[in-house]
Amino acid sequence: MAEQWRTGRTGRDGGDRPVTRGDRPVSARVGYTGFDAAHGFPAAYAHGLARGLGDRLGATLVVSQPEAWAIVESRFGTAPRALLMTSGLDQATLDAQARSAPEGVTVVGVGGGTAMDVAKWISWRRDLPLVQLPTLASVDACFTRMSALRDGERVRYDGDAVPDEVLVDYEILAAAPPALLSAGIGDVLSCLTALADWRLAVGKGIDPAWDDDGARASERYVQALADAAPEIAARSEAGIRSLMELHREIGWRCHDLGHARFEEGSEHFFAYCFEAVTGRTIMHGELVVLGVLTMTALTGLGHERARSIVDAAGTRSTLSALGVSWSEVEATLRALPAFARDGGYWYSYAHELTIGSSELETVRRALGG
């Protein structure tokens, strides 16, 4: 497992792969705020970044989903040379889509995590320029280099695509339903549980590559999220920018360390197991938040802090609000230890769980109705 961990095959890092593009921002529009790419992908924050994007880029392949493209199409300008609506994240499907991509285009991911991951895969496989235009802040896929592939019930990260630009358009993100913004805390709040998992594994001599800077950064990210939570709940520009910058910084930190150990752990494994057990999913960020609240309740490590951040950000977390039944949570918890071990995921509290009536009651009380 340690060798897997260092090569990044089980985590969404890509740190062992060279950066091939995107070492500096490309001017998007007059008046946008550019960022030094030293700590993340080139990103721009402004109103109206989607407007005329097709005119500026020329020939494009847009990778999207119907709901996202409906929001952006009227703003985009010159119609894309090709439009791909995502269907699946298995490698065979992604490879077929990459082979069918036209030559000489810029790949533009428009939407959420699935669109971002497919766009990255096509860009990587075909060595095409990549621009990411997220329409929601509930996932961090626009700031990670690897794509989340589905191998049956298992999530596997592979590929290496560095976007030339990530365009954070306040008009689009602020217009999304509130849950699509507040769910974005999941991939930051996960640092709370992932860091505890990392400490556990290092203490057992399973993961030797502890990094003090990475651990301290993980703690800073959680505190920064707590500080930004009221603005996230208010859906202000400051809240949007703070959340997206945390995603960008965490993505860079994964690449710098060569792993995602500090921000992906038992809470994500809970989410993946939920999808495998139930055959369905809910919004990724909310599912990860559910995993954080569940695992902190079981371990007694940071639950009150996690709950306070979730509530301050206005993130939905009760089972009724999420449309999740208690029977689904219970089935996920009973399956989780074997799922984590058999899936080859790095060592975490999920591997050690013993689920009995008292543990189930603890989680039920923590999650509410």
Q: What is the pLDDT of residues 276-319, one digit of tens each?
A: 999 998 999 999 999 999 999 999 999 999 999 999 999 999 99
Tell me what the pLDDT averaged over the chain comes to. Answer: 86
User: Which pair of structure tokens corresponds to residue 267?
Assistant: 């809470």
The dihedral through the CA atoms of 65, 66, 71, 72 has a sign that is: positive
Neighbouring CB atoms inside 10 A of 58's CB total 11
Q: Where in the chain is the domain with CATH 1.20.1090.10?
A: 179-367
User: Which pair of structure tokens corresponds to residue 35?
Assistant: 């960022």
Q: Which of 119, 102, 126, 98 is nearest to 165 (CA)?
A: 119
End-to-end C-alpha distance for the chain, whole angstroms: 37
Question: Does the pLDDT of residue 231 top 70, yes or no?
Answer: yes
Question: Does the pLDDT of residue 322 top 90, yes or no?
Answer: yes
Q: Which CATH number fits domain 179-367: 1.20.140.10, 3.30.70.1140, 1.20.1090.10, 3.40.50.10490?
A: 1.20.1090.10
Q: In this predicted model, what pLDDT tens digit does every residue of 325-369 receive, in sequence order? A: 999 999 999 999 999 999 989 999 999 999 999 999 999 999 986
Neighbouring CB atoms inside 10 A of 246's CB total 23
Q: Which of 162, 156, 155, 226 is nearest to 191 (CA)?
A: 226
Antiparallel, parallel or unpaired: β 60-64 and 82-85: parallel
Q: Which of 23, 105, 101 is nearest to 57 (CA)?
A: 105
Q: What is the reported pTM? A: 0.82
Question: Does the pLDDT of residue 20 top 70, yes or no?
Answer: no
Q: Where in the chain is the domain with CATH 3.40.50.1970?
A: 2-175
134-144 core/surface letters (b: 16 or more CB in 10 A; e: else): bbbbbbbbbbb
Return the pLDDT at 8. 28
Asked if 267 and 303 touch (Cβ cutoff 8 Å), the reply is: no
Asked if 290 and 367 touch (Cβ cutoff 8 Å), the reply is: yes
Q: Which of 149-163, 234-248, 326-340 has maximum average pLDDT? A: 326-340
Q: In this predicted model, what pLDDT tens digit does every residue of 125-141 receive, in sequence order? A: 999 999 999 998 877 88
| CATH hierarchy code of domain 2-175 | 3.40.50.1970
As a whole-number percent, the residues of the chain with pLDDT over 70 amount to 88
Return the pLDDT at 208. 66
Task: Give the residue, 261 or 88, on which the prediction is more confident.
Answer: 261
User: Which pair of structure tokens corresponds to residue 170?
Assistant: 């306040």
E strands present in the chain: 33-34, 43-46, 60-64, 82-85, 106-111, 130-134, 147-151, 154-158, 165-169
Residue 151 phi, psi (nearest 5): -110, 85
